[in-house]
Chains A and B, each alone.
Chain A
Amino acid sequence: MCTTDRKLEPFRGLIALFAVFLVAVAGSAAVLFVLKLGGGVGRFYAPRTLPGLLDVAVPHLLAIPLSLFTTIHLVGWVGLVRPRPMALLSRAAFACALAGIAGGFAVRYVHPALATVKIAAFVGLESLLLIWLWLLCATVIRTRVDVEERLPAQTAARSA
């Protein structure tokens, strides 16, 4: 794990930058959710067309799993989280993403009451993204700390 930490060091700034953009993605998603849908269940009841639903769903089917995959992969590199909680957090995030994307279709074609599920999925995904972002920041800090602790030790070992 320590070797991996050391190897991650040159990418630390890039991971921090990626985290900033991920904050912007998650934050703007929350703002759009409120602006477009009012954040209330009632706003989901208005019928939407299939092309309209697909216009939203298709790009998100690429963007959300890709963002989650990259973030989880970066956090996993350092091994900050034990495998079991890591797997649980990953599954929960992907499940919320899928429920959120499918939710629009469910409200339109299954039952309007499923709007509550869509809102819950969105809130769940945003909350889990915050946790992953925190872990991503911890990854950046951990890498720096690890390198700072390691460099003097390596120099001493070489001179000995």
Chain B
Amino acid sequence: MKFLLNPTAEVAARARPPVRVFLAFSMLLVIGLAAQRAASGGFSPAGVRDAYAGEAASAVALWEEVHQLAFLYGFLTLAIGSLLVVSPLPARARSVLIGAMAAATLADLFAPFAILALRGGGVLRLVTGVACPAALLAAAGAAFATFASPQGPGPSKPAPGGNGHVHD
């Protein structure tokens, strides 16, 4: 955790290997989740509609999915986002990546309720089902490529009132 609060070049360089392995596993997890959803028909509007608003749909299954995804997305966004904050990416790129990740995960988590309310609209979950892994993979990939990069400009400098972190 020291590299998050006090990200000097030396501390960040020491943290680089385990951080990159963690990010590689995170990306595998996101790919696995997308594959799992594809295998269960989650990438066709009719399949999505049947899963949440069809005759065989169950409230327990819906809430179990929300329960599991909320836990997963909560930790993925916190971990990947925190690593992005201390990466040497430009502040604007960081904000875009974190914002996209937050919007996509929240939309994917709550999309099933919209499908239920609309009694259809399976295409909505299709969109969030593509946007969510894409945003998570982009954020994790950017953090993987830039975190404590030896060629990079080093940890970002603090910006007044901005997202730059602070050195004492």
Interface residues in chain A, defined as those with a beta carbon under 8 Å from any beta carbon in chain B: 3-4, 6-7, 9-11, 13-15, 17-18, 20-22, 24-25, 28-29, 31-32, 35-36, 63, 66-67, 70, 147, 151, 155
Contacts and interface: CB of A to CB of B under 8 A. Distances in A.
A130 B5 CA distance: 27
Contacts of A70: 75, 78
State the majority secondary structure of interface residues on B: helix
Nearest to B158: A10
Contacts of A147: 161
23 contacts: A3-B168, A6-B166, A9-B166, A10-B163, A13-B81, A14-B98, A15-B78, A17-B77, A17-B106, A18-B74, A18-B75, A18-B77, A21-B70, A21-B77, A21-B109, A25-B70, A28-B63, A28-B67, A28-B70, A32-B63, A35-B59, A151-B160, A151-B161
B5 A25 contact: no
Given A17-B81, A31-B63, A147-B161, A24 B166 contact: no
Interface in B1-24: 4-6
A133 B85 CA distance: 23
Contact of B85 (A4, A10, A20, A66): A10
A148 to B, nearest CB: 8
A145 to B, nearest CB: 13
Contacts of A66: 75
Contacts of B74: 17-18, 21-22, 24-25, 67
State the majority secondary structure of interface residues on A: helix
A32 B77 CA distance: 24
Contacts of B5: 4, 7
A101 to B, nearest CB: 15
A3 to B, nearest CB: 6
B77 A24 contact: no
Interface string B21-60: 0000000000000000000000000000000000000011
B102 interface: yes
Given A25-B71, A28-B70, A13 B98 contact: yes
A14 B75 contact: no
A54 B146 CA distance: 41
A11 B166 contact: no
